[in-house]
A and B are shown apart, each in its own frame.
Chain A
Amino acid sequence: MRAIQLIISGNPEVYGITALSLYVSVLGTSLSCVWSIPIAIGLALRSFPGKRISKGFFNAMIGVPTVTLGLFLYLVLSRSGPAGYFQLLYTPTAIIIGQSILVTPIIVSFSTSALESIDPDLRSLARTLGASNNQMYQVVIREASWGIVLAIIASFNRAFAELGVALMLGGNIANVTRVLTTAIALSTDMGDLPLSIALAIILLVIVVTLSVVINLLRKQ
């Protein structure tokens, strides 16, 4: 009951944590799209040496444990690491970077599949209608756009619900880097179950809603 009250009353701590979670995950997913979608287009539509190995690599990386990635990036971003100069550790930016790397294999793999599922005859059709190579790629990408959107939403879901990267790179600092997953872990540890439950309900609602959206898009 207390958990529901925290949600309904608009508790600033609850909604501040939720807002920060959405902020870092949206930015992290968006940042990943900048390189992931071009990579997917290259993997799906071009031929090059090592293509199969590259696809296999991204598929394999989907299952990388978040805490392992978090540890690796911690070593990179820490003061003694190669990117320590930028002092990004324990900032929202570090979480954004970490989550953007975390979701890259998901966006790449799902988008590649979406592009490859487009009828190969479509490329012949575009060519016979006078399309240049770039125009032909645009047609294929447009036809696969729902699949790519699905990949992005699924990636956001992964980023939003992960714990390892946010904890290792953000440090769970109140009002700075405390996101839903790290806040749930901490408040459970401290025995503040109403807060844990409230945050967990919000996390679940958002994740389940997005999962429903993903399923609806798949049917489309």
Chain B
Amino acid sequence: MTSRVETVDLGKRYDGILALEHVRISAQPNEVTSIVGTNGAGKTTLLKILAGLETSDGGRVLMDGREVDQNELRGLCTMVFQKTVILGTTVYGNVAYGLEIKSVPRQEIDRRVKSALHSVNLEGFEKRKARKLSGGEQQRVSLARALVLERDLLLIDEPTANLDPANALLIEHAITEAKSMTTIILSTHNLPQARRLSDHVVHLHRGRVIEEGPPSSFFTAPQDERTKLFINGELQY
């Protein structure tokens, strides 16, 4: 089966400092792939390259077996950032933004916004000022804003960092529902979350993939010593 997205020997340096090296990952259609690793492992850098927000210094990104460039990636993927970025408008305005700039018909926008807000349990919030919402609600708005675009690939950087358990649960529920419509790659420090949500787990350490596999074997029988230490909370960058 052709992977929905695949990276081949992806590399990235910032001012000579290695961020990613020879990264090969693949994500299958309608699956959740979690990227786990310590701070500074390169998780966010990887997601930003896949989102077309940064260029790589080497390697390729393939979508459905076809090599794509940075501009194409921006049209095929969307990203939810760890730090919530909210536009100074209503919840509806935030969620609809990506559709409005593409001149999608208003009726279609209304339908998709309603559906996206339903999936993150924010129905009825359309007219509220998005910046006056709680942190958890804002993160759910961010997720709805990405879901509404119905892109081939959804990238989520630390989906539930700084969220209380109730909001985290709502986000996880939305991610689980969303994967039937798209392919999801998320980065997380939350290992139980990665275990719950993922179909595939990748361990990134110092910019390199050192282990990957389904959660069933990744967490119970890791092969790499560093992965064992990481799962036990003993691995340092």
Contact = CB atoms under 8 A, between A and B. Distances in A.
Interface of A: 119, 121-122, 124-125, 127-132, 135, 139, 142-143
Interface string B82-96: 010101100000000
Contacts of A129: 78, 97-98, 101, 145-146, 149
Interface of B: 48, 51-53, 74-75, 77-79, 81, 83, 85, 87-88, 97-98, 101-102, 145-146, 149
26 contacts: A121-B81, A121-B83, A121-B85, A122-B85, A122-B87, A124-B53, A124-B79, A124-B81, A127-B52, A127-B53, A127-B74, A128-B51, A128-B74, A128-B79, A128-B146, A129-B78, A129-B145, A130-B74, A130-B78, A130-B149, A131-B101, A132-B101, A135-B101, A139-B87, A142-B88, A143-B87
Contacts of A122: 85, 87
Q: Which 6 A-B pairs have the closest CB atoms?
A: A129-B98, A125-B85, A128-B79, A121-B85, A135-B101, A128-B78
A181 B145 CA distance: 53
Contacts, number: 47
B85 A130 contact: no
A122 B131 CA distance: 14
Contacts of B98: 129-131
A125 B94 CA distance: 11
Contacts of B101: 129-132, 135
A125 B102 contact: no
A125 B74 contact: no
A93 to B, nearest CB: 38
A134 B229 CA distance: 47
A216 to B, nearest CB: 17
Contacts of A142: 88
Contacts of B53: 124, 127-128
Contacts of A124: 48, 53, 79, 81, 85
A130 B102 CA distance: 8
Contact of A130 (B75, B81, B88): B75
Nearest to A125: B85
A128 B145 CA distance: 11
B88 A143 contact: yes
Nearest to B151: A130
A143 B102 CA distance: 20
Contacts of A127: 52-53, 74
Nearest to A130: B98
A115 to B, nearest CB: 14
A217 to B, nearest CB: 14
Nearest to B77: A128
